[in-house]
Amino acid sequence: MNHQLSDLSPEGLRTFVGEQLERSRARTVQLTDAVDTDDLVKQHSKLMSPLVWDYAHIGNQEELWLVRDVGGREPLRQDIDELYDAFQHPRADRPSLPLLGPVETRAYVTEVRDKVLDVLDHVKFDPEKLGADRELVHNAFAFGMITQHEQQHDETMLATHQLREGAPVLDAPPPPAGRPLPSPEVFVPGGVFEMGTSIEPWALDNERPAHGVHVKPFVIDTVPVTNGDYLRFVLGGGYQDPQWWSEAGWAHVQKASLVAPRFWSQVDGEWWRLRFGHREQLPLDEPVMHVCFYEAEAYAKWAGKRLPSEEEWEFAARFDPSSGRTRRFPWGDESPGPQHANLGQRHLRPAPVGAYPAGASPLGVEQLIGDLWEWTSSDFRPYPGFRAWPYDEYSLVFFGPDYKVLRGGSFGTDEVVARGTFRNWDYPIRRQIFAGFRCARDARPEEVHAEELHA
C-alpha cells in the first residue's frame, strides 16, 4: 500500500480494498483454524483474550464501522456490542462473559464480511461526490482502518499462540541467513526532518500530522541487540545488579523474579528458548525478543549506551541526508517486499542480523522494519496539532507517561501496518509481545567533527 492510493480510480480502490480484506481474513482463519475448539475458548494467559474473543471482536468492529456507519445498514447483532467492547471488559475477565462459541462466531464473522463486501460494492469513493460527513470513505479510510485492526489482532493472536501450551500447530519456512555487518554502529548526523505524516491515506491519528523535528547528532546500533549480546548481560549478573536498572525497573525485576528474557531457560549449562511450541537452542545471531522496556533500558546502560528516543529512531529510519527528504521506509518509498523486511508472519521468528541489506536506510541502519518491535525511551505523547479521529479510544486515552513507544513492527506485523510512521505503545513491563531493542548513544565531539570534515 502506498501514499499514491488517491491516484487510483474508484474501481481500482475498490479492488485494492477487497484484496486487503481478503488477505487479513485469510490470516485470521489460519490462526483460528490451527487449534481445536478447546484451545479457541481457553484463556492461555491472563494477559490475553481467548482466541474466540479476538475473532468475534474483529467481526464486531467490522459491523460497527463498515456495515452500520459507512453502509448505513441495520445492525446484525447489536446485542453483542457490549461483550466485544475492549474498554468494557479487561482481558482477564473475558472468559467469564457469555461469549459466542466457535461455531456461532464463525457464522457471525462470515455474515458480517458478506455485508461488508456488499457495502464495498456500492460505496462512493469519488472525491467530488463526498460530502462533509464522508471523511471516513475518502481514500477508503474506514476500510483501511478495519483492515489494519484485523491485522493488529492477528498479531495479538499470534502472541497468544506463543503463550499456548502443547504441540506446535503453526509452521513457516526459516528466514534468510544473516551476514557480517559493515560496522556495529552508524553515525547519524543531526538536522531537522519531517516526522509523522499528513499524506499517508491510511495513517492513524497518532501518526499525524507531519511536523518538523530537530535531532542532534547521535550514534545508533546498525542492527538490534542479539541473543548473544544479551546473554553476556545475563551471564554477567545483570539481573542481580541494581546499578543497571532504574528504580521502577529494579522494583519490577524483584517483584516478577526476572532472571532472563521470557521463554528462555537453562538446562545443563545450555540456553534454550520456547518458540511456538518448539524448544530449541538459543540462536545467538537473532535479535533478542520478549524483553520488557526495563530490561532493554538496563542492558543499554550496562553496555554504556541508552535507548534511542522515538524521534531518533524515526530520523534513522526515514531521513535521507543526501536529498534532505524524509522517506516512507528506510529503503525508499516502495511498499515492503520480502527482500526488504521480515513481515506478515512469513517467518515465525526474527531473522539473523544482517539478513536484509536491501532494507537498510541511506545511512546504513538495518532491520528497522520487521523482525521485532523496538522499545524507545519515549513516552506515548500526541504530536503537535494532533486530532483524535475517528474515535478517542484509539490513541487519546493512552497518551501519557504510563506507556512507552515501540517502533518498526515485528515478524508478526503485516505490511499494511508497518509504515515508517506507525507508532505502537505498551506498558514498560510487557514481555509477551514480539519486542526487542537497539541501543544508541550521544555522538562524541570528535565523531561530529570527523563527519563535518567528510561532508
Binding residues for gamma-L-glutamyl-L-cysteine: 91-94, 426, 430
**Which of 259, 252, 165 lies closest to 430 in space, CA to CA?**
252
Decide if 102 contacts 90 (C-beta within 8 A).
Answer: no
Cα Dmax for the chain: 70
Question: 483474550: which residue's cell?
Answer: 49
Q: Which three cell numbers stand for residue 293?
A: 522496556
**Which of 145, 213, 195, 35 lies closest to 393 in space, CA to CA?**
145
Name the 3-class secondary structure at 424: strand
**Which of 148, 196, 191, 215 lies closest to 386 in space, CA to CA?**
196
Beta bridge partners of 278: 275
Binding-site annotation, residues: 57, 91-94, 149, 153, 426, 430
Binding-site annotation, residues for Fe cation: 57, 149, 153
Distance of alpha carbon 144 from alpha carbon 437, whole angstroms: 28
Q: How many CB atoms lie within 10 A of CB 6?
A: 12
Decide if 201 contacts 5 (C-beta within 8 A).
Answer: yes
**Which of 56, 58, 161, 159 lies closest to 98 in space, CA to CA?**
56
Q: State the Cα angle at 436 between 187 and 422, rounded to 5°.
A: 75
Q: How many CB atoms lie within 10 A of CB 96?
A: 9
DSSP state of 65: I
**Which DSSP helix (H) or strand (E) runs through 220?**
strand 218-221
Cis bond upstream, residue 90 (ω within 30): no
Distance of alpha carbon 21 from alpha carbon 120, whole angstroms: 11
Distance of alpha carbon 225 from alpha carbon 147, whole angstroms: 31
Question: 499494511: which residue's cell?
Answer: 416
**Which of 125, 152, 118 lies closest to 140 in space, CA to CA?**
125
3-state helix vs strand vs coil in the chain, percent to 5: 40, 15, 45
**Which of 236, 237, 356, 335 lies closest to 286 in space, CA to CA?**
356
Distance of alpha carbon 355 from alpha carbon 415, whole angstroms: 18
